[in-house]
């Protein structure tokens, strides 16, 4: 499609063609980096040079090895930045429970056009654990961003996850997908899992999960979950607005329609579908903390150069996942911006789903836990906590709030602080509100 100054429908094709043209360069950086690592590793081989001690030999190759590894790390980072990414694998093959390892296999238990309900099944594990549905955010990254979250939950729960599909890979013949469809999917998945289930909603997913819970409560659906845990979600974006919230509210619908929506190129199954492309979402998030991302990658290169491969690889592993972005349908993105951020329909009690007003006051049987991070720069403090006030008929002993000290947005569901601070709180909460283990 040719350049059109009125909107950005041409943008996806231009970016896609640029990345495809850069792919040989990216592959060259990758291969050259491996060669430099191989050369630097060969310098570590024991050799006997006359009139030189082992310490002198090691000192002689110390700086050449450092510079070779530094260059290798730099080339690999550039390879990552201009590479073309596809959906990563979860790659969870086993879990340790007590002193025993169990094999884990993925099984799709419910298929929908834009999302699969994925189950991480433990083979030969006889003890029945509470079910938990991990609802991944549909905000530009694959559900594999929660890979480590799944790993941390597996020893204690029977884990299911919403595995969202990249909109560019869904043919137009499959129809549309908007915010209302998201809620419909949530109700469908919860009804499939049945009673005695817990839900863990992350970031963006907290809003549609809350709407689904309210509608199921209004209908007195027997599949109501025992508890819902909400982590860093934009329930009331009027509380402590962040830069993300301000961008969403300072621009009108027309601006987002002209500048954020584009067409899927013809080499993808979803050709001609209008989408909010993942590369725009990714560039937006990275530009918010560009200095921090640059420093993080520079630190990883330095760590690798000095031989601290473990910490360097942790950073590289994170960015390999973080850079794998996915597209959202235009109708879902635009409706989310309007409903959640601009008009705040849910908070004001003006949101309708299925032709009926969403009544949060009808939530009386499902315990709710709100968790926020002290250093969260995406969802401000108080935005998730507001759910506890909005659900005014829910008994106080079925509400809980946690403010995780020193935790940022991604630390709410990933990393050591999640394992040490947040997960124990979640386990206690779900145990307290577990009706039975089926």
> Distance from first CA to last CA of the chain, Å, rounded?
55
| pLDDT value of position 316 | 93
| pLDDT value of position 8 | 72
Q: Which residue has the higher pLDDT, 127 or 209?
A: 209
122 has pLDDT over 60: yes
Q: Which residues pair with 414 in a beta bridge?
A: none
> And the tokens for 189?
């998945």
Hey, is 322 helix, strand or coil?
Answer: helix
Tens digit of each residue's pLDDT (9 = 90 or more) over 125-134: 988 899 999 9
| pLDDT value of position 3 | 44
CA 123 to chain centre: 27
Distance between CA 278 and CA 140 in Å, rounded?
A: 5
Distance between CA 362 and CA 224 in Å, rounded?
A: 12
Radius of gyration from C-alpha coordinates of the chain: 24
73 has pLDDT over 70: yes
45 has pLDDT over 90: no
- Mean pLDDT of the 341-368 span: 95
Distance between CA 271 and CA 13 in Å, rounded?
A: 11
Distance between CA 144 and CA 136 in Å, rounded?
A: 9
Closest among 184, 185, 204, 194 to 131, alpha carbons compared: 194
Q: What DSSP element (H or E) covers 56?
A: helix 54-81
Q: Mean of the per-residue pLDDT values for the chain?
A: 92
Closest among 182, 192, 235 to 212, alpha carbons compared: 182
Tens digit of each residue's pLDDT (9 = 90 or more) over 104-117: 999 999 999 999 99
Pick 94-257+327-432's CATH classification: 3.30.420.40, 2.60.40.10, 3.40.50.10860, 3.40.50.1820: 3.40.50.1820
Tens digit of each residue's pLDDT (9 = 90 or more) over 282-301: 888 888 788 989 999 999 99
Answer for the pair 280, 184: CB distance below 8 angstroms, yes or no. Answer: no
Taking the domains of the chain in order of start, what are their residue ranges?
Answer: 11-84+278-322, 94-257+327-432
> In 147-239, which ranges are continuous DSSP H helix?
147-153, 179-193, 206-218
1 has pLDDT over 50: no
Identify the weakest region by mean pLDDT among 116-120, 144-148, 199-203, 340-344: 340-344
Question: What percentage of the chain carries pLDDT values higher than 70?
Answer: 94
- Alpha carbons within 13 A on the beta-carbon side of 122: 23
């Amino acid at each position: 499609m040719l350049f059109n100054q009125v909107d950005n429908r041409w943008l996806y094709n231009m970016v896609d063609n640029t990345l495809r043209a850069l792919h040989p360069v990216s592959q060259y950086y990758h291969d050259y980096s491996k060669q430099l690592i191989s050369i630097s590793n060969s310098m570590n081989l024991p050799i006997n040079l006359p009139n030189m001690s082992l310490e002198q030999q090691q000192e002689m190759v110390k700086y050449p090895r450092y510079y070779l590894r530094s260059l290798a790390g730099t080339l690999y980072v550039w390879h990552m930045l201009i590479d073309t990414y596809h959906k990563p694998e979860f790659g969870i093959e086993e879990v340790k429970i007590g002193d025993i390892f169990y094999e884990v296999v993925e099984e799709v238990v419910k298929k929908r056009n834009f999302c699969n309900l994925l189950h991480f099944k433990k083979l030969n594990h006889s003890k029945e654990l509470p079910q938990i549905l991990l609802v991944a955010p549909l905000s530009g990254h694959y559900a594999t961003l929660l890979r480590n979250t799944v790993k941390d939950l597996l020893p204690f729960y029977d884990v299911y996850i919403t595995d969202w599909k990249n909109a560019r890979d869904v043919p137009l013949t499959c129809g549309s997908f908007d915010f209302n469809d998201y809620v419909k999917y949530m109700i469908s998945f919860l009804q499939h899992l049945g009673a005695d289930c817990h839900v863990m909603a992350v970031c963006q997913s907290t809003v549609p999960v809350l709407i689904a819970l309210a509608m199921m409560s209004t209908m007195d659906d027997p599949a109501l979950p025992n508890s819902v845990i909400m982590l860093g979600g934009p329930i009331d974006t009027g509380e402590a607005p962040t830069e993300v919230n301000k961008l969403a509210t300072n621009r009108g619908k027309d601006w987002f329609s002209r500048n954020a929506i584009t067409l899927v190129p013809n080499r993808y199954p979803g050709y001609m579908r209008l989408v909010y492309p993942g590369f725009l979402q990714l560039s937006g998030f990275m530009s918010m903390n560009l200095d921090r991302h640059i420093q993080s990658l520079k630190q990883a290169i330095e760590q690798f150069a000095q031989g601290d491969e473990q910490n360097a690889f942790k950073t590289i592993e994170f960015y390999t996942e973080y850079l794998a972005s996915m597209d959202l349908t235009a109708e879902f993105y635009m409706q989310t911006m309007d409903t959640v951020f601009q008009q705040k329909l849910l908070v004001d009690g003006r949101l309708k789903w299925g032709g009926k007003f969403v009544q949060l006051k009808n939530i009386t049987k499902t315990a709710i836990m709100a968790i926020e991070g002290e250093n969260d720069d995406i969802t401000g403090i108080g935005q998730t906590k507001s759910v506890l006030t909005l659900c005014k008929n829910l008994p106080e002993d079925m509400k809980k709030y946690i403010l995780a000290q020193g935790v940022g947005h991604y630390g709410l569901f990933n990393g050591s602080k999640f394992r040490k601070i947040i997960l124990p709180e979640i386990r206690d909460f779900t145990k307290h509100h577990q009706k039975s283990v089926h």
